[in-house]
Amino acid sequence: MAYPQHLLGEGETIAFEMKPHWRALVWPIILLLLVVFGASFLGTWLFGSLGGFIGAVGGWIVVAIAVILFFGWVLRPFLNWLTSQYVFTNRRIITRKGFIAKKGRDMPLSKVNNVEFEVPLMGRILNYGRLVVESASTDGDLVIDDVPDVEHIQREVYRLHEEDDERRRRRSSQLGGDPVPPSDGT
């Protein structure tokens, strides 16, 4: 789902947007298979070997546990992945998460001091990593996990930051003010 255009500021455009890397869904899929097969096996065994009232109660207990595991270990991580959105505009970095309760953070590119990335061993194989954007504000760093092609995204954030600096310098000189000194990225 694309980021709504009406939430952007005047003159703000989306450079790119993404979801977390698909590898975030690997464990929920494996757990889904385990829950389905485990519940099917246990339910069949309980109904077949115990039979009667105890087998039926045991079967329903297995179903209840399977449903709880499904919602906690499968559906919740899938919905977290589905509703997570990372948007990079020509003026800010936007993160949004949440299905029922939403959580978001915006960081103006003008506040970016440094952009780092971390790629674990599996990230080198599957091409994902963690992006850490250091901010000049008191809000602290912006940490984004499971970023696809994180090295490319790091370079793009630097490019967007430089373009934003240039835009602000031009605007300041057009308004007759002192030009904004160039950012050195530290």
**Predicted TM-score of the model (pTM):** 0.82
Q: Which of 91-95, 113-117, 179-183 has the lowest mean pLDDT?
A: 179-183
CA-CA distance, 121 to 101, in Å (whole number)?
33
Which has more confidence, 173 or 129?
129
Among residues of the chain, what percentage have pLDDT more than 70? 94
Question: How many angstroms separate the Cα of 101 from the Cα of each of 84, 139, 142?
Answer: 12, 21, 20
Among residues of the chain, what percentage have pLDDT more than 90? 73
> Can you tell me the mean pLDDT for 22-41?
95
Looking at the DSSP assignment, which residues form a beta bridge with residue 17?
87
> For every residue of the chain, which 3-state class applies, written as one string?
CCCCHHHCCCCCCEEEEECCCHHHHHHHHHHHHHHHHHHHHHHHHHHHHHCHHHHHHHHHHHHHHHHHHHHHHHHHHHHHHHHCEEEEECCEEEEEECCCCCEEEEEEHHHEEEEEEECCHHHHHHCEEEEEEEECCCCCCEEEEEEECHHHHHHHHHHHHHHHHHHHHHHHHHCCCCCCCCCCCC
